[in-house]
Amino acid sequence: MCSESSNSCSAFKYAFIGFIAGAVAGAVTALLLTPRTGKEMRAEIKKAIVEISENTEEQAKKIKNITKEKYTELVNNVIENYKKARDFTQREIEIIKKVILEKKDIEAQ
């Protein structure tokens, strides 16, 4: 959907990776710095994993929608610019034909 060289795509990838890394680091830090029993700790770890998983899925969906929008926007821009270039080229061809015909007329006289 987006090429590897796309700056916006790269920004989304790095933002997503940063979000995941920050969420994991924050969860681990909070769990390890809070005094709990083993059973409580396991329950908290399980809860944190579920929350991180849900947040990750939500962020992935947002990024997917953004990249779809950008892809659609890009395709529309390419089509629009192609049409402009085609129209411009057609006008230029007509002008060149006129110039050539006028030159032939001048040379024929």
Residue 7: its pLDDT value, please?
63
For position 63, what pLDDT does the model report? 76
pLDDT at 47: 84
76-96: b (≥16 Cβ within 10 Å) or e: eeeeeeeeeeeeeeeeeeeee
pLDDT per residue of the chain (109 residues) written in tens, 0 to 9: 455 455 666 777 777 788 778 877 777 777 677 777 778 877 877 887 888 788 878 877 877 777 788 888 888 888 999 999 989 999 988 888 888 888 888 887 7
Amino acid 9: pLDDT: 65
Q: Which residues fall within 8 angstroms of residue 85, CB to CB, at 6 or more apart? A: none
- Global pTM reads 0.42
How far is Cα 52 from Cα 39, in angstroms, rounded to an integer?
20
| SS3 of 50-94 | HHHHHHHHHHHHHHHHHHHHHHHHHHHHHHHHHHHHHHHHHHHHH
